[in-house]
Structure 1
Amino acid sequence: MTTDYLTTDPLADRPYTVTEVTQAVKQTLEMEFPPVWVVGEIASWTEHASGHRYFTLKDPHCQLRCVMWRSQQIKGFKPEAGMEVVARGRLTVYERSGQYQLSVQRLVQSGVGQDQIALEELKKKLQKEGLFDDSRKRVLPEYPRTIGVVTSKSGAAIRDILSVLRRRFTGLRVVLRPASVQGAGSDREVALAIAELDRFGHADVMIVGRGGGAKEDLAAFNTETVVRAIAESETPVISAVGHEIDFTLADLVADVRAPTPSSAAELAVCDAAELRNRVIGLGDRLVESMDDLLRENEVLVESCRERYGLRRVEDLVTQNAQTVDELERAVLEGMRRAYDDRRQDYRRLTAKLASLSPLSTMGRGYSISQRLDNGELVLDAGTLEQGDGLRVRFSEGQADVIVDRIVPDDEQGQFLLGL
C-alpha cells in the first residue's frame, strides 16, 4: 500500500517511522525542486568500479554530497579534488543513509561559465531537431562558376579567400555580401546576409566565416539565428570561422567545415593546374590506348589479308554481279511469257463473250421487242393487244411499231404479230 506522505495528518497520534519521514522528505525534494545548477569546489572524488562517480561539492560554509551515474558523460576535462565545477542535477535523498544529495546530470568546469552552459544547451536543442545530421549535408559542386562570400568587407578573411581563388582558378565570379562578424547584432546581420545571398540564386557555393579571434569574437557563429540561416540555405555552405582549433555551431550545421577562410577557398574550387595536369594525363592515356588498339588491329588486318577468302573478295563481287544480270534476264523473260499468256486468255474470253452476246444473236436475223410505255421486254405475243406500241431492236438500228393484229402460230400453238 502506498502512503501519501504529503497529505498525512501531522497531528496524528501515531509516530512516523524513519522510513516514512525519509520518504516524505525525498518526495518533497524531488517534487518541489526543479533541476538546478550548483557551483562549488570538489572536496572529494571517488569513481567506483561500477563506473558511478561519488563526490562532494563545498563552499566556505556548506557541503553537498553528489552522485553521477555512469550513463552520464563528462566531456572536456577530468574532475579531481580542489577543482571548481558547475553541476546540474536534481535534489534527492539516499534513503539508506537518510542524506540528501544532488543527482548530477551534467558537470562542467566552473571557468567555462554560464555562456558555455547555454551554448551546450543550444547545441543539444539543435542537434535534437536534426540540424547537424549528416543526411542533410550536400555535396559541393565540382566546378562552380560563382562563389558567394559572407564576411566582413575589411577583414583578412576576404583577402585570403580572393588570393586563394585567384591562384587556384582564374575566371571565377565572386559575390561578396558584407556583414559585421562580431559585436552586438552581428548574428542577425550575418543571418540576413546568408538569406539574401541565397535568394540571389546565382552562387553555386557559399563561404560563411571570418578570421581568427578571441572566443567571444566568434560568438555570432554560435547563435541560433546564424545556425538556422545556414540550415535554411538552398545554396551549399562552407563554414570558415577562425583558426583550425576554433569550432562553432556554424561548423556543425554547414555542409562542409573548413578550418580557415583560406582552406574554404581551396575546398570551394579545384586547382586549375592540377586539373590541367589531370586532363593531360588522361589525354596521354587515351593516345596510348588508341596506339595499342591500332597496333592490334593492324596485326589483325595483315592476318586477314593473307587469307584466301579475303583475296577472292573482288572475284566474288564480279561473279555475284554476273549472277544478278542473269537473274534480271530471267525475270524479264518470265514477265514477257506471263504477259503473252494473259493476252491470249483475254482474246479467247472476249470471243466467247461475243458469241454469247444478244447482239450476236440478232446478227442472225433475230430482234428484241420492248413496250414503248414502260420498256418491258415482250416474250409472249399473247400478252399484247391491238394498238400496243412497241420498240423493235434489230442487229442494225431499231423501229417503233403499233400492233395491228395478233396472228397465232398454228404449228407451235403460239401467236404471230401482224405489224
Structure 2
Amino acid sequence: MSTNMLVSKYLEEWKTVDILLDVIVKSNAPRVVEIAMGILGNMACSPPIALNFSENKQLRDLVLATLGSSDARTLIETTRLITTCLSMQASQELWLSAISIGEKEVFDKLCFILQSSTNCDLLHATSNLVDTVLDVDEEILNDWATTTLIQAVTEAHKQVIKEKPEVVSMLLHILNILSTTDTGVETLVETTESILPLVIGYISSVCEQDDVMSVRGREHSISSAVSVLDVLANTSPPNLDAVLKHNPKTLPHLLCILAAAKDTSPGPSEPKKMMIEQPTLPKNGEESSSSPSDIASASQSDKKTEVSQHAPGGDEASQDSSVAEVSQNATVAEVSKDASVADVTQDASATKVTQNAPVEVDDSDDEEIECVAVVTKESNFLTDVLMEFFCNLLENHDAGTSDLISCINSCKKEHLDMLKQSLTETNPELLQVLDTKPSG
C-alpha cells in the first residue's frame, strides 16, 4: 500500500514516519525493522516525501547507522532507501553531505558488506548504492578510490558471477568510474593482478568458441570492461604483457566484439503484420451462420509491446509501453447481403473488412523506432570505446619488441581487415604499425 503516492501522503500526514523511526530504534525483531525500513523506502519513491525525509537529520543519521546491521534483509531495504533518495536531484545533496560527514564509517560498512556477504540480493543493492554515490560526487570518488574498495569489488564479483551475473555490470561500472580520476587510475594499476580476472573474464564470457554472442543490451558493461582494460594496458607499458599473458585470446575477442558492434546498426524494423480473419459472408438468398456480434468479435485482437531498458553500473529492466487494441468495443455490425464488404462500426472509427482478402494491420509504433535509435547509439558508443582502445595500444607500445602484433595477427582475417579499414578512416598513420614484423 505504501507504494501508492496517495497512501504515502496520507501516512506522512498522520506522523507515520515518527512511529517507524521509533520502531527501528527500539525493536529487537529484525523482521519488524525490515518492514519499517521498507515502508520508508516505498514512501521515498514520491519526490516530495523523499525531500522531507532528506531534510530530517534524525532519519538520515539513523538510516546510515543501520548500514551496520547484521540482518541482510534489513540492509537491502536500507540501501534501497538511500539509493532512492540519491537518485532525486532535490534530495541528493543532503544525503551526500550526510555521507561525507561520516564518510569513513559509511565506506567501511559498505566495503564490509561487499567483502563478506553471501547474499546476492544484498550485494546487488549495495553495489547499486556504491555505484550511485561514486557517480554523483567527485570528492567522495577520490576519497573512496582505494585498494580496499577494489578488494571489496573483486570479492563481491566472486560471489555473484554465477548466481547473479547482472551485478557484474554494476561492479564493472564502479571500476570504470574509478578510472576517470588520477587517484583511481593509480589504484587500478596498483591492483592489476586482482582486476584482470574480473575484466578479462567478462570479455571472454561475451565470446563463445571465438564467435561473439549478441552484444545488444550489454554495450555499457562491455564498454566499462574495455575502459578499465585500456587503463591497465596503456597507463603503464609492462601491464600489456600481463594482459596478454593472462589470456592470449583477449585481443582477438575484442576484435570479434568490435565486428559485432559494427554489424549492430539496425534500420527501422519491418512492420509486423497481423492478419484479421475474414468472416464468411452469406451469398444472396442464404442465411448467415454468424450473427453480427460473432462477426464483430472475430475481428478483435490486441497487442502488447515490451520495451527493455539498461542503467549505468550495471542491470536490464522491462516495462509495458503500449497496448494497441484492434476492433474492440464494437457496438454495431452491419452486414450487407448484396455486397462483399462488412462494415464493423466501433467507438468513433470503422474497420472495413473485405471478403476473401485478409487485411494487413501495421502495428509498429513510435516506441519501436525510439528503441532502434537507442540500440544504434549504444552500438556506436561501444565501437568508439573499442577503437580508442586499439589506437592507444598501437600508439603506446613498441610493436616490434612485444607480442602485440603477433596477438592481433592471430585474429580472423575478416576481423583484421575490419580493423585496418577502421584505422584507414580514423588513424591511417597507425596502419604501418600493424604491418611491423615482430622481432625474434
TM-score normalised per structure 1? 0.20
TM-score normalised per structure 2? 0.19
Q: Which has the larger radius of gyration?
A: 1
Greater RCO, CA 8 A, separation 6+: 2
**Bigger fraction of residues in helix:** 2
